Amino acid sequence: MNFYPINHEAVFEDIEKFDYPNRKIGVIAHIENDKGEILLQQRGVKSRDENGIYEDIGGKVDTDDFSFKQAIIREIKEEAGDDVKLEFNGNSIGIYHCYKNNINWIFVIYFVKYINGTIKIMESDKCLGYKFFTYKEAINSDLVTESCKYLIKSIRNNYKC
pLDDT at 8: 92
pLDDT at 51: 72
- Residue 84's CB: how many other CB atoms inside 10 A? 18
Looking at residue 76, its amino acid is I
Burial class (CB in 10 A: 0-12, 13-18, 19+), 61: buried
pLDDT at 52: 82
pLDDT at 29: 97
Domain count, the chain: 1
Domain containing 13 equals 2-158
Nearest to 50 by CA among 132, 150, 142: 142
pLDDT at 160: 62
Which residue stretches of the chain have pLDDT < 50?
none
CATH of the domain at 66: 3.90.79.10
Three-state SS for 160? coil
Q: How far apart are alpha carbons 15 and 66 in whole angstroms?
A: 14
pLDDT at 134: 97
